[in-house]
């Protein structure tokens, strides 16, 4: 049913890292008990903590996005991707020097068919650190199939996609949390060989991904803190659809479109890295849900679908009236941090130019 992929949007610059309040409190409490030398040392540490934690060789890097390459020969699919450093404006005026696949975060949407053999090549354009690819859609010995590709090198790996679904992919290089939270995540859809039983009812389909952002390249914040932004992106499944990065306004500024009466299908995945998503579309009930996107996991009549970190689903619902239907994670502390998008439903399915509001 699906075809085609697009590309992402990027901008330039760097980011700052804020001082942990715990450190500030500690320096405050001990202020009168320490020698002037130690006091100076504390100030120096605090000053350093305010500088961006960009790895030295990444400082001047901002590689343009490289289009995903996919070629098919029967059931052999050749996929070429890059690991690269690219700035992403995750919030207005805040650029994050992301570690990415192909210059997008989440990375480009990959679509293959159940039973395909994937021949995957990763070109690591990062001059400083190794990267790798862990496709949740395949069976392989991770130390071989998901092995590191060293800086400025290429690695090729082969495996079969035997299960249909909406799977996460991510860099699996240690520390994995740094690589995922810095932007190295995405989605691979494996289309079921016999389709979904509701294929003939669906008029519109989209792909949506949820991810979190933390303080820049701050493994402590990624490990012990809470996300600074929780966001949605949409990836082009069909020609002409938007293809965005995970930013706080990505699916607000350009809402998804549908026509009154349409049955809408969304391929959704929560790439985390840490948080669960409680995916809900306001003003509808999901008629059909395929947990993890496998037709065998068919459920009906769900209000909210829980997506564990890395979990996916295919959800389908019918939009019965004109209007703006927000989709959220119903963990509203995360909706407050950005995880809201809009589906605009009009009489003819075209954008009537009206404001969606609610940013
Ligand atoms: Cu990596």
Domains of the chain and CATH, by start: 199-346 (2.60.40.420)
Contacts of 305 (CB under 8 A, 6+ apart): 268, 278, 279, 280, 286, 289, 291, 313, 315
- In this model, does residue 258 exceed pLDDT 60? yes
Rounded to the nearest 10 degrees, the angle between the axes of helix 21-30 and helix 36-49 is: 170
pLDDT of residue 121: 98
**Confidence tier at 52 by pLDDT (50, 70, 90):** low
DSSP state letters, 21-63? HHHHHHHHHHGGGS-HHHHHHHHHHHHHHTS----GGGTT--P
* Residue 323 alpha carbon to ligand 1 centre in Å: 41
* Residue 229 alpha carbon to ligand 1 centre in Å: 21
Name the phi and psi angles at 262, rounded to 5.
-65, 140
Give the pLDDT confidence of 290-328 residue by residue, as tens digits. 999 999 999 999 999 999 999 999 999 999 999 999 999
* Residue 149 alpha carbon to ligand 1 centre in Å: 9
- In this model, does residue 149 exceed pLDDT 80? yes
pLDDT of residue 354: 84
- In this model, does residue 244 exceed pLDDT 80? yes
**Confidence tier at 47 by pLDDT (50, 70, 90):** very low
Q: Which uninterrupted H or E stretch holds 332?
A: helix 332-336
pLDDT of residue 53: 83
* Residue 220 alpha carbon to ligand 1 centre in Å: 17
* Residue 324 alpha carbon to ligand 1 centre in Å: 38
Dist. CA 314–CA 330, nearest whole Å: 17
**Residue 71 has which token pair?**
């070629």
Q: Which residues does the annotation place in the binding site for Cu cation? A: 131, 136, 170-171, 179, 184, 330
pLDDT of residue 357: 66
> What is the pLDDT averaged over residues 45-53?
49
* Residue 100 alpha carbon to ligand 1 centre in Å: 8
Contacts of 117 (CB under 8 A, 6+ apart): 75, 76, 77, 158, 159, 160, 161
Tell me 65's DSSP state. Answer: P
pLDDT of residue 2: 57
* Residue 296 alpha carbon to ligand 1 centre in Å: 33
Q: Which residues does the annotation place in the binding site? A: 131, 136, 170-171, 179, 184, 330
Give the pLDDT confidence of 3-27 residue by residue, as tens digits. 433 333 333 333 333 333 333 333 3
* Residue 181 alpha carbon to ligand 1 centre in Å: 10
Contacts of 343 (CB under 8 A, 6+ apart): 255, 256, 257, 258, 264, 281, 319, 324, 325, 326, 327
* Residue 153 alpha carbon to ligand 1 centre in Å: 13
The SS3 assignment for 208 reads strand
pLDDT of residue 14: 34
Tally DSSP H helices, then E strands, for the chain: 7, 20
pLDDT of residue 22: 34
Instruction: Out of 37-41, 68-72, 105-109, 188-192, pick the least confident.
Output: 37-41
Q: pTM of the full predicted structure?
A: 0.85
**Confidence tier at 262 by pLDDT (50, 70, 90):** very high
* Residue 281 alpha carbon to ligand 1 centre in Å: 33
* Residue 36 alpha carbon to ligand 1 centre in Å: 42
CA-wise closest residue to 51 among 94, 96, 14, 100: 14
pLDDT of residue 18: 33
For residue 89, the cross-strand partners are 95
Between these two residues, 28 and 66, which has the higher pLDDT value? 66
pLDDT of residue 13: 32
pLDDT of residue 44: 40
> What is the pLDDT averaged over residues 122-133?
98
* Alpha-carbon torsion (352, 354, 356, 359), positive or negative: positive
CA atoms within 13 A on the CB side of 61: 20
**Residue 251 has which token pair?**
């699916």
């Amino acid at each position: 049913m699906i075809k085609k992929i697009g590309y992402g949007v990027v901008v330039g610059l760097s980011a700052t890292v804020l001082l942990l309040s715990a450190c500030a409190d500690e320096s405050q409490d001990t202020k009168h008990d320490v020698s002037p030398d130690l006091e100076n040392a504390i100030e120096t540490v605090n000053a350093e903590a305010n500088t961006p934690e960009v790895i030295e060789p990444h400082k001047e890097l901002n590689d343009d996005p490289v289009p995903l390459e996919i070629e098919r020969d029967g059931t052999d699919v050749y996929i070429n991707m890059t690991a690269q450093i690219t700035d992403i404006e995750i919030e207005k005026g805040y650029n994050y020097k992301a570690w990415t696949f192909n210059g997008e975060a989440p990375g480009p949407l990959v679509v293959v068919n159940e039973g395909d053999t994937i021949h995957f090549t990763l070109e690591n354009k990062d001059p400083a650190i190794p990267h790798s690819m862990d496709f949740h859609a395949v069976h392989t010995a991770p130390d071989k199939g998901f092995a590191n590709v060293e800086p400025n090198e290429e690695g090729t790996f082969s495996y079969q996609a035997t299960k249909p679904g909406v799977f996460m992919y991510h860099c699996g290089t240690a520390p994995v949390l740094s690589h995922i939270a810095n932007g190295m995540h995405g989605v691979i859809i494996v289309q079921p060989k016999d389709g979904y039983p509701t294929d003939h009812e669906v008029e519109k389909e989209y792909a949506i991904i949820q991810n979190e952002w933390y303080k820049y390249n701050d493994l402590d914040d990624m490990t012990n803190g809470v996300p600074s932004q929780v966001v949605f992106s949409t990836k082009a499944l069909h020609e002409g659809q938007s293809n965005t990065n995970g930013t706080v306004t990505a699916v607000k500024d350009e809402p998804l479109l549908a026509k009154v009466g349409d049955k809408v299908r969304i391929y959704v995945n929560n790439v985390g890295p840490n948080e669960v998503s409680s995916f809900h579309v306001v003003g509808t009930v999901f008629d059909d849900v395929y947990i993890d996107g496998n037709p065998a996991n068919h459920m009906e009549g769900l209000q909210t679908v829980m997506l564990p970190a890395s979990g996916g689903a295919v959800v389908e619902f019918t939009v019965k009236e004109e209007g703006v239907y927000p989709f959220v994670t119903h963990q509203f502390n995360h909706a407050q941090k950005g995880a809201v998008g809009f589906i605009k439903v009009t009489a003819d399915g075209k954008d009537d130019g009206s404001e969606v509001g609610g940013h």
